[in-house]
Amino acid sequence: MDLRDVVQAARDQAFGVGRTEKGHRVFSSPDPGYSPVYFSGTPSDQRSIKNLISKLRQSGLVWPWAGRIKK
């Protein structure tokens, strides 16, 4: 699992995925009731992607994402 998997899952589920001027990723939920989720452009903690997934799940992301299963 890496950031590319999370970005692809978010895009498949209609999340907006972009970058800030300083290189951070920003994920916008399709439900306007949720605040955007920001993620560092260069994660320094080994748990950072898991923490990102946790925050995105609170914003409506379905994880584990069925599209990531490769046959």
pLDDT by residue (tens digit) across 3-56? 899 999 999 999 999 999 999 999 999 999 999 999 987 777 878 999 999 999
Give the pairing type, strands 16-19 and 25-28. antiparallel
- Please determine, for residue 65, whether its predicted confidence score (pLDDT) is greater than 80: no
For residue 66, the model assigns a pLDDT of 73
Q: How many CB atoms are closer than 10 A to CB 61?
A: 23
Helix (H) or strand (E) holding 37: strand 37-39
The stretch 56-67 carries a mean pLDDT of 88
Cβ contact 27:59 at 8 Å: yes
